[in-house]
Amino acid sequence: MKSFLRFYIHAFDDALYLFKQHYTRTQTWALLRTYLTLSLKSAFSRTSSGGKSNLCDMRVTCFSHTALFYLFREIFIHGEYHFKTNDTQPTFYDLGANIGMATLYLKWLYPHAVVHAFEPDPDTFLLLKKNIEDNHLANVHLYNVAIGGKEGSVDFYTNSSASGSLRMSVGRERAEGKKLTVPMKTLSSFLTAQDTYVKIDTEGSETETVRELVQSGSITKIKEMVIEYHHRINSESSKLSEILTPIERAGFEYELECANKTLTKKDTYQNIMLYCYRT
């Protein structure tokens, strides 16, 4: 009974989010159908079970239907990475692409968009590649590398019991799993077009990525960014100013959204979403 009540509460909240988005009627109905299908698969499948699903007329293969439903809610329903542009062929950079949900979303919104997607985990990258190929998406460029503040290689930690975990990270304490050594590149080495849109979800290396963009001068090519900032990740001291200060100095305004926590609870890890834009 409690699980059904929880589902209805979440569904009501998600419906409010959905109808606030600027989708067409056709898109809205496609999202509603997908929401019902994925919610049922998530409810009646084991957490570790994956497979294929239809998502707004796209075919998606996932490691876990539970994780897929979570990503669908955040990206498609809540519009976490929604960029609005009049450009018919905008350029997007998807840092921390995982199995490609943000890339699929951006191509769903803007079919002629050029997307550069980066995923360091080799197994997850194979699934990302499959999802792009299965949907015959053009102008999507995939890179099996980590993005950070320097060129070279970096230790990368995966969850050996959960393939494609959303907690894979360059920080040992974040994933606590198998260690890999993966190539690391800077985003500035890939930025070419002016007025690009960037999504950064790199589980701890976002500050170094932004700092390098500022130092190289490449941040002037970016029009808007959505950054998932991991506040006090691995119990480190508060360093929010280290990412906000260079963003401010680069001429961006920003909005912040934070997961609901008890304000006076100390030593708490939090995800903070930053939407950065030029006026």
Query: pLDDT, tens digit, for every residue of 48-70?
Result: 567 899 999 999 999 988 899 99
Q: What pLDDT is stored for residue 129 in this prediction?
A: 97
Please compute the mean of the pLDDT values over residues 174-183 and round it to a whole number: 74
pLDDT at 269: 80
More confident residue, 112 or 165: 112
HEC states along the chain? Answer: CHHHHHHHHHHHHHHHHHHHCCCCHHHHHHHHHHHHHHHHHHHHCCCCCCEEEEECCEEEEECCHHHHHHHHHHHHHCCCCCCCCCCCCCEEEEECCCCCHHHHHHHHHCCCCEEEEECCCHHHHHHHHHHHHHCCCCCEEEECCEEECCCEEEEEECCCCCCCCCCCECCHHHHCCCEEEEEEEEHHHCCCCCCEEEEECCCCCHHHHHHHHHHHCHHHHEEEEEEEEEECHHHCCCCCHHHHHHHHHCCCEEEEEECCCCCCCCCCCEEEEEEEECC
Return the CATH number of the domain spanning residue range 80-277: 3.40.50.150
Instruction: Indicate where the chain has its CATH 3.40.50.150 domain(s).
Output: 80-277
Say which range, 5-19, 156-170, 244-258, has the weakest mean pLDDT. Answer: 156-170
If you average pLDDT over residues 177-193, what whole number do you get? Answer: 89
Mean pLDDT of all residues in the chain? Answer: 87
Backbone φ and ψ for 119, nearest 5 degrees, come out as -145, 115
Residue-wise pLDDT for 132-168, tens only, equals 999 999 999 999 999 999 999 988 777 765 555 555 6
Kindly give, in sequence order, each residue whose CB lies less than 8 Å from that of residue 133, ignoring residues fewer than 6 positions away: none
Residues in the chain: 279
Nearest to 81 by CA among 257, 278, 279: 257
> Which pLDDT score, from 0 to 100, does residue 170 have?
63
Provide the greatest CA pair distance for the chain.
Answer: 56
Q: How confident is the model at residue 258 (pLDDT cuts 50, 70, 90)?
A: confident
Residue 22 tokens, joined: 């600027």
